[in-house]
Amino acid sequence: MSVLKRLSGCLLFLMLLLVSCHKELKPATVIIKDPVRHYYPVLQGEQLYVSYEIENTSDNPLFIQEIQTTCGCVTARERLPIVILPHKVGIVGVEFNTIKNSGYVCHYVYCYGNFQDSTYIEMQFDTNVVPSADYVHDYEQLWQEFEHSNKHVQSAKDGTASQKGYTTEDQYNFSEE
């Protein structure tokens, strides 16, 4: 009986040893398209969808194991892990729920993986969350209500107000000539 226990113990050990052998994960270099973004104002209660393009510029696959944000109102849209093959572009998307925010907000998105110079990369977006005015509607709100009545085809073509775009630092050149 003890011989069988020893034999099964040795077999279990050998199996664990063989299973635990794995290939070393090599670091990957990336380029993030527009990592710092300034979105146009959104109405409180709207969802803002932010998608970052990440290009893997190395010969090694990129594995993004975890996505962390600076607020619980910003959640990842992709399932983890995200794998971006060498010399390909992948998407990291987050969804910002504006229901509990008002005014200027700035959020960071941290992706953890096998990056070349660090264990994570950082992306940022900001916007102004405008509360709805229940008392008097201004011109923009009246126009939006008018457009909303004819919006079925228009929203399919143009997207919602929060999906129309963003600006980056490169668009502002304050240097004197």
Q: Which domains does the chain have, with CATH numbers?
A: 30-134 (2.60.40.10)
- Per residue in 79-129, pLDDT (tens digit) is 889 999 999 999 999 999 988 888 999 999 999 999 998 999 999 999 999
DSSP 8-class letter at 162: G
Tokens 């987050």 found at: 94
What does pTM read for this prediction? 0.65
In which region does residue 116 sit, left (phi positive, over 0), alpha (psi from -120 to 50) or beta (all else)?
alpha
pLDDT of residue 9: 56
Q: List the one residue out of 93, 87, 99, 104 whose CA is nearest residue 30.
A: 87
